[in-house]
Amino acid sequence: MSTTLKIAIVGASGGIGAALLDQLVDRADVAVIHATYFKSPAGSALGNISNFGNKTSVVWRELDATDDLSVKEWLADVGSIDWVINCVGMLHTQDNKPEKTVRQLDADHFAASMNINCLPTLLLAKYAAAALKGTDNGVFATVSARVGSIEDNQLGGWYSYRASKAALNMALKCLSIEWQRTLKNVRVLALHPGTTESRLSEPFQRNVPEGSLFTAEKTARLLLVQLDAAKNLPTGRFIAYDGQEIPW
Ligand SMILES: NC(=O)c1ccc[n+]([C@@H]2O[C@H](COP(=O)([O-])OP(=O)(O)OC[C@H]3O[C@@H](n4cnc5c(N)ncnc54)[C@H](OP(=O)(O)O)[C@@H]3O)[C@@H](O)[C@H]2O)c1
């Protein structure tokens, strides 16, 4: 395997993002990983790593992925790229848990959910398009969530999170259609990771049926199988960790 893939992981300081980074850095076919963190000190503490054993280097950057200029400047520095994996997301804050009823809706929390769960994908697409022009094995993937599926929604609730992930999914679907004309070698994917141990899922883990809570390591391993297979499959898919198609 030659070291060819240049990868950007946004939100590489989070549970799923960090696990993807850990596994990609060990791969012989990965040349460089541009990794971002936001508030977590994990990214800054790691600094820039050069793994001389397999020639993969990791270049960290602090990035607010909701800030247009910051995303623009980061991707200008990154240069050409093959894969963009967006792992940024927010479900709850100290003050706001997912809504059980619409009566609990908080306007600021709703706006923050839309901002963090949907906008970064559009900003990344806006500024990564030029960087993806030269790739012959392109992937532009965002970690979405099954609860963002409108058709799959049986339980209701979680208004802000569900609505922001549904908006994200629409953005990805639009992008996949646009890029079929302009970036034919790039597969656009919405990924459902399965319920995974992380800060985001921590308050809800006790409700997960036994055996259904994945470690971040397992989730990353399964998602990478899907990303590796993407080249030979259609663009514009919403898929789970096991490759199962989820209705939009
Ligand atoms: N865990 C699950 O069970 C599960 C299930 C379905 C879907 N998902 C989705 O999977 C994705 C990853 O979640 P996770 O479980 O790994 O959560 P996590 O551990 O809380 O990670 C969230 C990541 O988002 C970053 N982030 C937040 N706001 C940001 C901003 N404005 N700009 C840049 N980065 C920002 C965080 O950076 P800092 O830490 O540096 O602040 C962190 O890297 C999310 O989209 C989530 O909705 C997760």
How much distance in Å is there from the Cα of 200 to the middle of ligand 1?
Answer: 7
Q: Could you identify the atom of ligand 1 that is nearest to the CA of residue 16?
A: 16
Confidence of residue 232 (pLDDT cuts 50, 70, 90): very high
What residue owns the CA closest to ligand 1's atom 1? 196
Q: Please provide the distance, in angstroms rounded to a whole number, between the alpha carbons at the two ends of the chain.
A: 35
Ligand 1 contact via 160 beta carbon (within 6 Å): no
What percent of the chain clears pLDDT 70, i.e. is strictly above it? Answer: 93
Q: What average pLDDT does this structure show over 85-106?
A: 97
Do 216 and 200 contact (CB within 8 A), yes or no?
Answer: no
Q: Could you identify the atom of ligand 1 that is nearest to the CA of residue 196?
A: 3
Ligand 1 contact via 98 beta carbon (within 6 Å): no
For 237, left (φ over 0), alpha (ψ -120 to 50), or beta?
beta
Q: Could you identify the atom of ligand 1 that is nearest to the CA of residue 91?
A: 47
Confidence of residue 56 (pLDDT cuts 50, 70, 90): confident
> Model's pTM, two decimal places?
0.96
Q: What average pLDDT does this structure show over 204-209?
A: 90
The domains found in the chain, sorted by start residue, are 5-240 (3.40.50.720)
Burial of 31 (0-12, 13-18, 19+ CB in 10 A): middle
How much distance in Å is there from the Cα of 103 to the middle of ligand 1?
Answer: 26
Q: Is 46 a residue whose pLDDT tops 70?
A: no
* Per-residue pLDDT tens digits for 111-165: 999 999 999 999 999 999 999 999 999 999 999 999 999 999 999 999 999 999 9
Ligand 1 contact via 193 beta carbon (within 6 Å): yes
Query: What is the C-alpha to C-alpha distance for residues 107 and 84, in angstroms, rounded to an integer?
Result: 31
pLDDT at 42: 60
Tokens standing for residue 196: 């995974």
How much distance in Å is there from the Cα of 209 to the middle of ligand 1?
Answer: 22
Ligand 1 contact via 37 beta carbon (within 6 Å): yes
Q: Is 48 a residue whose pLDDT tops 60?
A: no
* Bridge-based pairing state of the strands 56-62 and 49-51: antiparallel
Distance of CA 54 to the CA centre of its chain: 25
